[in-house]
Structure 1
Amino acid sequence: MGKKIVLVDDDRLVLESVLAALEASGYQVWATDSTEEAMELTREVEPDVLVTDYRMPLMDGVSLLERVKELAVAPLMLVYSATPPPPDLLSQRIREVCWVAKTSGHGALLGKLTDLLEGGVDAS
């Protein structure tokens, strides 16, 4: 089976589109529009990668990644967002994360995932 990914985005259209692209590329994907459910899925599934939007209503993607780091599981982390997190925010709060612009398209996301899975965060 393919690598496991938990995907979280509050925009259902984006969520469904990215889900379809990831599954078509052979990944096993658990998708949700809820950061709380993403936490639960991460505990249950122990994914290889957590892909999250940055701007979401209840908790931003960086805060979600911080909470995930506290879990016993340690997935690679990728922020896929129209709005980049401020660079100083990432460097101060979470260093082990990659960012891909949604405007770059699914190809850029898939390429970054491949790089990340093959080489870790230094592939950013």
Structure 2
Amino acid sequence: MLNYLRLILHSLSAMAAAATVLVLTNLAGGTLAQWWGFARGGKGRLAWDLGWVIAGGVLAVAVATRCAPAAPRRHGLVCAALIAAVTVYAVIELGEDFPRWFCAGLLLSVPLQAWLGTKWGSRRSG
């Protein structure tokens, strides 16, 4: 029973680490955009932000996969499914405020995030 509880806590920790990486990556992208003088709004800034959202998703899935105590690919896919759910919700709620190409990029990039993240997270060093 204690081992099962440890496994669950480790699994939840892997997902929390993935969420943290996702948020920090997006914050880094926003901070770099400000440092480099990107104006808020506009196609250039939206493309920049989309790239950082995708990078954050890839890194989050990789961390969930890498830190998983068991079934690493399943952890990565669960992380990607959570990202997909949040993305769909965001597009439904905020979609009219953003261009269609941006919303399409968000939605269509989720499989790429899942694939790259699980691939990178599954690599074993040594």
TM-score above 0.5: no
Larger radius of gyration: 2
User: Whose RCO is larger (CA < 8 A, sep 6+)?
Assistant: 2
Of Structure 1 and Structure 2, the greater helix share is in: 2
TM-score scaled to structure 2, two decimals? 0.29
| Higher relative strand content | 1
TM-score of the two chains, using structure 1 as the length reference: 0.29
